[in-house]
A = this chain, B = another copy of it.
Amino acid sequence: MTSRETTSWLQIRDELLRRVRERVWEPGALIPGEVELAEEFGCARTTVNRALRELAEAGLITRRRRAGTRVSINPPHKATLTIPIIREDVEARGASYRHAILHRDTRLLPAHLGGAFHLPEGTQVLYTVTMHYENDRPYIHEERYTHFAAVPGLEEQDFAQISANEWLVQNAPFTGGDMAFFAITATEDLARCFDVAPGAALFTVERSTWNDQAPITLARMTHAPGYRMRMSL
Residue numbers of A with Cβ under 8 A of B are: 21, 74-83, 85, 88, 169-170, 173-185, 199-204, 207, 209, 226-233
Contact = CB atoms under 8 A, between A and B. Distances in A.
Contacts of A79: 80-81, 83, 179
Contacts of A177: 232-233
A32 to B, nearest CB: 21
Contacts of A203: 181-183, 203
Number of copies: 2
A71 to B, nearest CB: 11
Given A74-B85, A184-B201, 12 more contacts: A77-B174, A78-B82, A78-B83, A79-B81, A79-B179, A80-B80, A178-B230, A179-B230, A180-B228, A182-B227, A183-B203, A200-B201
A204 B201 CA distance: 11
A232 B175 CA distance: 11
B183 A184 contact: yes
Contact of A81 (B78, B88, B173, B183): B78
Contacts of A180: 228-231
10 contacts: A74-B170, A75-B173, A78-B80, A178-B230, A178-B232, A181-B181, A181-B203, A182-B229, A185-B201, A203-B203
Given A85-B74, A184-B201, A201-B185, A233 B179 contact: yes
B199 A74 contact: no
Contacts of A174: 77, 233
Contacts of A229: 180-182
